[in-house]
Amino acid sequence: MQPLAQSRAEALLARFHDVRDFSRLLARDLEPEDCVVQSMPDVSPTKWHLAHTSWFFETFVLKTWQKNYRPAIPEYAFLFNSYYNAAGNMHRRDLRGLISRPTVAESFRYRENIDRHIDDLISSASEELLDEIEPVVVLGIHHEQQHQELLITDIKHVLAQNPLHPVFRKRPPEKTAAPPPMDFIDFAETIATIGHTGPGFSYDNEGPQHRALVQPFSLASRPVTCGEYLRFIENDGYRRPEFWLSLGWTTMNEQRWEAPLYWEKRDDEWWHFTLSGFRPVDENEPVTHVSYFEADAFANWSGTRLPTEFEWECVAQGETIEGNFVESERFHPAPTKAAGLSQLFGDVWEWTRSSYSPYPGYRAAPGALGEYNGKFMCNQYVLRGGSCATSQSHIRATYRNFFQPEKRWQFNGIRLARDVA
């Protein structure tokens, strides 16, 4: 017998709860003390992520559509607004680690309270109301997935400060095999169609879809490995200015970089802090926790360059979204075994040489939700493809992630490209 079709509201709520539950699962092994710390201004405490994602639903869904909605603790609107000027004043980002209350338990109570309200609102909504609510709830779901990735990369940074090397998730050591050699695959000149269109979810920065002329280029079959990156280090890559952008050279010297973030030399061997503890660097893994500056310098050293985001998207359009995502709960990149184009999605975000800028015809929406993307289109570089901390259901070929070129705490890596003569 055929089961009854799930209603639209039920489907939406199922998806909502899946994602909400996954946030709780991520915090499973953390102590309350872990969830308070902000180890640098870019990092937010775990409990802030838990509360902020709830604030998002409260502010943009409940306050808009729930009749007579009264927030239990009005100060949360101030404490958990991240950067939406149109939604009111907010607590200073760099001071989030000074706020011990609400406690972790209270933050979970806040979540449960919001979830209950969302349940009520959606399950009793008319189809017309659902038409209005659904896009914002879906945005909130994707928003929470983004914060899940940040929760992971942020807690990694927090735990890494501690000489006791706390473990986020146990994972046994493993023997790996060397991946196939890096090949370069040629692509012909094309007038590409770039950006998202159609019914599925996408962020506003992925549109409008438009055509762009892409010259012939060649793309590496897989990301750069730790082993390959070690050759760059050993070849004095961090001491030769000719490979570096001027700003990269300055930054690198000021911050005394000598290797990717979390790497540390002990007795002549490189170790790194992982979410499963302090371990020897595995040369077969994709290198990660590198800045744009390091990715660019590595490319220059190797006689190649980084791809543009359009080149990357041209290639990705035909590929299936498979790989090492957060669903695997590995929380770390893994070596590839595949020959040919591989790891385009998952494992590590891939720096492109494209500055994060609006597509032709782009216009941010009015109001607070218009602040989601457009106002950050300056001095950031686009990354593509998702990482081991990204949800598989969150990523797309048109997805544009972006960070300042000096940032290293995300699972960012390097895929090379070349001009075709």
> Which residues make up the interface to its own copies (CB under 8 A)?
31-37, 39, 47, 73, 75, 78-79, 83, 85-86, 91, 95, 97-104, 158-159, 161-164, 166, 191, 210-213, 215, 241-242, 244-249, 292-293, 353-355, 357-358, 360-361, 366, 370, 375-379, 405, 419
> Closer CB to its own copies, residue 17 or residue 239?
239
- Shortest separation between residue 33's beta carbon and its own copies, angstroms: 4
> Closer CB to its own copies, residue 37 or residue 224?
37
Angle, helices 127-160 vs 104-123, to 10°: value is 160
- Shortest separation between residue 75's beta carbon and its own copies, angstroms: 5
> Closer CB to its own copies, residue 207 or residue 358?
358
Report the distance separating Cα 404 and Cα 291, nearest Å.
Answer: 8
> Closer CB to its own copies, residue 130 or residue 212?
212
Instruction: Give me 110's structure tokens.
Output: 């806040």
- Shortest separation between residue 102's beta carbon and its own copies, angstroms: 8
> Closer CB to its own copies, residue 137 or residue 297?
297
Sheet containing 417-419: order of strands:
184-187, 217-220, 417-419
Do 19 and 145 contact (CB within 8 A), yes or no?
A: yes
Burial 108-123 (b: 16+ CB within 10 A, else e): bebbeebbebbeebbe
> Closer CB to its own copies, residue 7 or residue 253?
253
The number of beta carbons lying within 10 Å of the beta carbon of residue 168 is 21
Sign of the Cα pseudo-torsion (185, 188, 194, 200, in order): negative
Report the distance separating Cα 149 and Cα 366, nearest Å.
Answer: 27
Report the distance separating Cα 373 and Cα 405, nearest Å.
Answer: 17
- Shortest separation between residue 233's beta carbon and its own copies, angstroms: 19
Strands 381-384 and 417-419: unpaired
DSSP per residue over 291-359, as a string? Answer: -HHHHHHHHHHTT-BPPPHHHHHHHHTTS---S--GGG---S------SSS--SSSSSEEEEEEE--PP
- Shortest separation between residue 11's beta carbon and its own copies, angstroms: 35
- Shortest separation between residue 380's beta carbon and its own copies, angstroms: 9
> Closer CB to its own copies, residue 69 or residue 78?
78
Instruction: Give me 156's structure tokens.
Output: 């990694």
- Shortest separation between residue 381's beta carbon and its own copies, angstroms: 8
